[in-house]
Structure 1
């Protein structure tokens, strides 16, 4: 601004002097407009312009000098810059804006999971904005007792000698007054209280910036906090493509997914592939099959001692000393999926801390406070690599015991009555990822029985939402586990009937029939004759025989199933609706529509009273009723079919075969 003002004043002076010369030469006695004042009062105008011009010329270079960057700052223990630093531009800009928002000492904290790149961000900030500082220091704060010795070394660097330990901090900050603006990075700080003595206060300093990186919560009352998350997927892919020759974007996406976009893990992966000349596809295969081993492999050139597998060891050691129940919770969670874990999964039988609300709150809070987990209102979420590192550190006997405990907790938490419990679907949506995580490998003998039941129940649930391809291998694994165990006739029957239902749903009734018949034989030998399990076997076998065209032989089976369930559950239970549908299908197969329609109507009434309005079971009943009443020339058939199709569309998706078939039926009935 001052440079512009000086130029303008100089131009006016030139114009003024030129005008006087022109006037003298031309002898004019009158100038046009405002310039006539200049003619009549030239020396007044000159006296006004000269000081203004001198002031403008004096200010211009001064302001220009201040706008220039400062000379390269002196540094203390600042690590080398990471030449492969990727992304984070928005966070760096936000950090600069926050630190630069006040003239006095400003403290900012970068908080996040170990390995998320807090230190690298702080170092990159120091280099990116180094021209804005005259002194930059880097202090390792992970062990609070070592901070004072580092400040003593810093004091000597600043020319201070014979400084006592209790005076080292104020003396250093006092000396930095001559080096302002300055920046001090406290890396891997613990709780705020452990660094309180090392942070500046009062009038000791001005124009300085403090930057703290930490995994620990609780800094918001002391400083501004930026929560640093893992990379966005595109940042992860960008890093891998830059670092690894021959890496394709598709493989980079998959590697990033398996590493949970953790920056340190991505750097480690790139280092492994570079050193071992491993093809990206081969590395991906190793990562998929041996994650716990791979997080300990790969070296970072600038941090050779740092690997993901040991990244959280210090935090876990601190927990072992202070809150062993939190370590046990961490181990339990490590065997679950990297998805939100419902806290109500854990009971006093699983973990003693749950019995006391205060102890339980601080146990869960310890994991969140140390950055090992992210706590929601009713859930806990662990990064997949934290889980892998904890699993890798668990001795075999602890791993087996933990898996047994988690399997039992899940078995107690998942709804067993998938068809009859109106809340079963919501709860299974929440717990299915964790059931799949715990049962993905062959179970040890200690929890094989629990694993088999979990697999079968999971197969029944996914079948109930229409996912037949997923249901089949789950149920086959349950059957294989139970076949290898002793005294499992009843459970084998449950596995067999579930498998029969899946094959029937897959359009293979010829495979389903012997499975259902064997299930019925096992249950009739192991269970009381009035057991609802036998009713399920009978109804399933009746449906299979209907598909095979043997409706006459199937009728007494379906009728017996209905009688057992009505006696066991009452006339309005959801299980009764399944028997009614099975019986109605047989009458439809015999072209007895008048008998079938009331059975379907009763089943639909039970389901509408038991399930949400958009439940799949209601959709299926509506479609069946539409077919039946259409045969009786009932004009309501098209509307029934359309309602059923809309439910299937909402629950299964537009492209699902059952949805497509339902809309075809609705269109056909509307036209007819």
Structure 2
């Protein structure tokens, strides 16, 4: 800008002086256009142009000198990553943290392996290179080799014949002549292992230190910045920029599979670039063969890129754990087979045998869990542990089949002990199932080992019952079908197969397929009557379910004795105020409604509502369903409370199922119809 301004001013000065000379030679009294102003007020124009030209002449060389200033000397600073993406706010935070303190300022950037700590530090060095007179990059993964790095560093600073025990203090002393300076210690361990290499006291001043580390524990020595994975927007931006033909939609799905881990995203882009793989094909491979894909891919713009792949990223940490705390490796293997969701720690403390007693001793357990968090393999929250999905994949990939099988058996048994079995009667069943359902699905997704086939079938059926409760029957259906297939393959599981069948019947009923549901319920009843006592509550469930199906199919007279017998069995087994009794009451009320006998149905429904309100939370779905049912019935009896009942029920479904769920839509349609 100043160079352009100086040129313009110089041109105007030449024009001005030339005009004066021309005027003097020609004797004209009138100049054309704006030049006439120069003739009339020559000294005003001159006084304006001379200061501007002087400023321009002064600024141009100053700016040129700033641009031409040589970059500061650097020790082993890797090349800049031309594909560096995002992280602007974090870079500003690092700069703010380093410049807000006098003397030597230190920042520890900590986070999961592959999250981009090293790349962030390198980008910081280049982005603020002009602020320093010396920059050094020191590999700190092996603390014993740090001193040798300082011997080389001393040589670059002009120090000769420096021994390894003298190198560190002499380098910091020499850096007094190169202030301000920046040293990056890459992949450092605990602060204690680097104490000898970090500046302290009056050894140096006006310098900055950045430590990148996977290990926690730096807060007492440095400002700590926790670096997380990319935002989804950053992930998509990187993939779209790097991969030809990549759409934002496909990039979003790839990023989801890779958990937004920066290293994995770069590796994916490298794989697609090298193999000319279409993004959609890569997504298919990633979805079906994740453990293999994280070991493949070319990385660019990285030091020692050929050695950096996600599959081996955490291997050294695992090797160290295996030596120091083998029980932590066992915990890691178990967690690797669960879902990439928060894992409740009481899943293991509730079944101490899963970890050979490690979870039984509070101190041993705390250090076992802490080892995973301390090495950056997991994030520890209040009562749970969270592993990144690619850490899980990397742990699963080399796991021997016998180890994997044993872990699945232990997890299946631990989950079966942890999930509520009385999904209908336990008021705390819903939050616990919401917490554990992803892990149940993860552990049971493949064919089960023979040692835990029966437990797997029970878990699948219980998961189906919970999904029915929250109105997600399409997800429940394949789980329950697998449970039935497993139970039918095991001898002596007739009763369990009956439970699977009646659950399947309930799913098909809710999916508006009563014709499919009826034979399933009839077969369940036959199986249970052949192997269970006549007054078994399981038979009552079969009877009530079959009664509801017969009503839907228009066979009301056949349904009534079934519903009455179910109510009698459960009242005898559980007492008159049990939640199971409420289901029988609803089944019997349905029969009377279909027979047009609303006056008989209304008190049955009211009694069911009273039972549920005494046992469930006010916004429980079971209460919402009864309120809506009662609203329909009392409306037929010209009861003015019908509209209020319907509104309460619809609001519960809206809260629990969402605005667009079919049952919610039907509920609000009823509300509108009763206005």
Q: Which residue of 1 aligns with 2:576?
A: 571
Q: Which residue of 2 aligns with 1:515?
A: 520
1:383-421 Cα distance to aligned partner (Å, 9 max, x none): 110011111121111011111111111111111111111
User: C-alpha separation between the residues in 2 aligned to 1:175 and 1:390?
Assistant: 45
User: C-alpha separation between the residues in 2 aligned to 1:94 and 1:561?
Assistant: 67
User: C-alpha separation between the residues in 2 aligned to 1:480 and 1:397?
Assistant: 24
User: C-alpha separation between the residues in 2 aligned to 1:574 and 1:638?
Assistant: 25
629, 633, 636: which one aligns with 1:631: 636
Does residue 324 (structure 1) correspond to residue 323 (structure 2)? The answer is no
609, 614, 623: which one aligns with 2:614: 609
Compute the displacement of 1:596 (Å): 1.1
* Secondary structure at 2:397 match in 1: helix
Compute the displacement of 1:304 (Å): 1.2
User: C-alpha separation between the residues in 1 aligned to 2:544 and 2:427?
Assistant: 21
Q: Which residue of 1 aligns with 2:285?
A: 286
Q: Which residue of 2 aligns with 1:349?
A: 353
User: C-alpha separation between the residues in 1 aligned to 2:308 and 2:207?
Assistant: 31
User: C-alpha separation between the residues in 2 aligned to 1:330 and 1:69?
Assistant: 54
Q: How does 1:208-607 map to 2 (within 5 A)?
A: 208-301=207-300, 303-347=305-349, 348-351=352-355, 352-607=357-612
* Secondary structure at 2:210 match in 1: strand
Q: Which residue of 2 aligns with 1:27?
A: none
User: C-alpha separation between the residues in 2 aligned to 1:349 and 1:583?
Assistant: 46
Compute the displacement of 1:68 (Å): 8.8
Following TM superposition, the consecutive aligned residue runs of length 4 or more in structure 1 with deviations greater than 6 angstroms are 63-70
**Conserved 8 A contact 2:502-2:521:** yes
User: C-alpha separation between the residues in 1 aligned to 2:216 and 2:654?
Assistant: 45
**Conserved 8 A contact 1:70-1:134:** no
**Conserved 8 A contact 1:500-1:513:** yes
User: C-alpha separation between the residues in 2 aligned to 1:439 and 1:286?
Assistant: 22
**Conserved 8 A contact 1:419-1:575:** yes
Q: Which residue of 2 aligns with 1:113?
A: 112
**Conserved 8 A contact 1:152-1:165:** yes
Q: Which residue of 1 aligns with 2:8?
A: none
Compute the displacement of 1:157 (Å): 2.3
Q: Which residue of 1 aligns with 2:645?
A: 640
Compute the displacement of 1:444 (Å): 2.5
1:344-371 Cα distance to aligned partner (Å, 9 max, x none): 1113122222111111111111111111
**Conserved 8 A contact 2:108-2:212:** yes
User: C-alpha separation between the residues in 2 aligned to 1:627 and 1:201?
Assistant: 78
1:462-485 Cα distance to aligned partner (Å, 9 max, x none): 111111211111111211222222
1:238-283 Cα distance to aligned partner (Å, 9 max, x none): 1101110010110000000110000000000000001111000000
* Secondary structure at 1:304 match in 2: helix
Q: How does 1:9-48 map to 2 (within 5 A)?
A: none
User: C-alpha separation between the residues in 2 aligned to 1:442 and 1:336?
Assistant: 15
User: C-alpha separation between the residues in 2 aligned to 1:579 and 1:468?
Assistant: 21
Compute the displacement of 1:69 (Å): 9.5
User: C-alpha separation between the residues in 2 aligned to 1:605 and 1:319?
Assistant: 56
Q: How does 1:186-225 map to 2 (within 5 A)?
A: 186-225=185-224
1:603-662 Cα distance to aligned partner (Å, 9 max, x none): 000000011111111111111111221222212112111211111111112222211212
Q: Which residue of 2 aligns with 1:15?
A: none
User: C-alpha separation between the residues in 1 aligned to 2:372 and 2:79?
Assistant: 32
User: C-alpha separation between the residues in 1 aligned to 2:145 and 2:534?
Assistant: 75
User: C-alpha separation between the residues in 1 aligned to 2:114 and 2:368?
Assistant: 23
* Secondary structure at 2:359 match in 1: helix
**Conserved 8 A contact 2:259-2:390:** yes
Across the two proteins, how many residue pairs are aligned to each other? 612
User: C-alpha separation between the residues in 2 aligned to 1:630 and 1:89?
Assistant: 62
User: C-alpha separation between the residues in 2 aligned to 1:286 and 1:537?
Assistant: 44
> Are residues 176 and 495 of structure 1, via their aligned partners in 2, closer, same or farther at CA, if it must alter by over 3 Å?
same
Compute the displacement of 1:378 (Å): 0.8
1:427-480 Cα distance to aligned partner (Å, 9 max, x none): 111111111111222222232222211111111111111112111111112112
Compute the displacement of 1:159 (Å): 2.5
1:283-333 Cα distance to aligned partner (Å, 9 max, x none): 000000011110001021361111001100111111111111111111111
User: C-alpha separation between the residues in 2 aligned to 1:254 and 1:310?
Assistant: 24
Q: Which residue of 1 aligns with 2:9?
A: none
**Conserved 8 A contact 2:464-2:477:** yes
TM-score, normalised on structure 2? 0.88
Compute the displacement of 1:71 (Å): 3.5
User: C-alpha separation between the residues in 2 aligned to 1:82 and 1:635?
Assistant: 72
User: C-alpha separation between the residues in 2 aligned to 1:129 and 1:639?
Assistant: 66
Farther off after superposition, 297-306 or 313-322: 297-306
1:574-607 Cα distance to aligned partner (Å, 9 max, x none): 0110011001111111122222111111100000
Q: How does 1:66-77 map to 2 (within 5 A)?
A: 71-77=70-76
User: C-alpha separation between the residues in 2 aligned to 1:342 and 1:561?
Assistant: 38
> Are residues 68 and 225 of structure 1, via their aligned partners in 2, closer, same or farther at CA, if it must alter by over 3 Å?
farther
User: C-alpha separation between the residues in 1 aligned to 2:393 and 2:187?
Assistant: 22
Q: CA RMSD in A?
A: 1.9
**Conserved 8 A contact 2:539-2:566:** yes
User: C-alpha separation between the residues in 2 aligned to 1:68 and 1:222?
Assistant: 37
User: C-alpha separation between the residues in 1 aligned to 2:108 and 2:141?
Assistant: 14
User: C-alpha separation between the residues in 2 aligned to 1:111 and 1:244?
Assistant: 29
Q: Which residue of 1 aligns with 2:19?
A: none
User: C-alpha separation between the residues in 1 aligned to 2:251 and 2:92?
Assistant: 27
* Secondary structure at 1:211 match in 2: strand
**Conserved 8 A contact 1:400-1:446:** no
Q: Which residue of 2 aligns with 1:5?
A: none
Q: Which residue of 2 aligns with 1:95?
A: 94
TM-score, normalised on structure 1? 0.89
Compute the displacement of 1:508 (Å): 1.2
Farther off after superposition, 245-254 or 298-307: 298-307
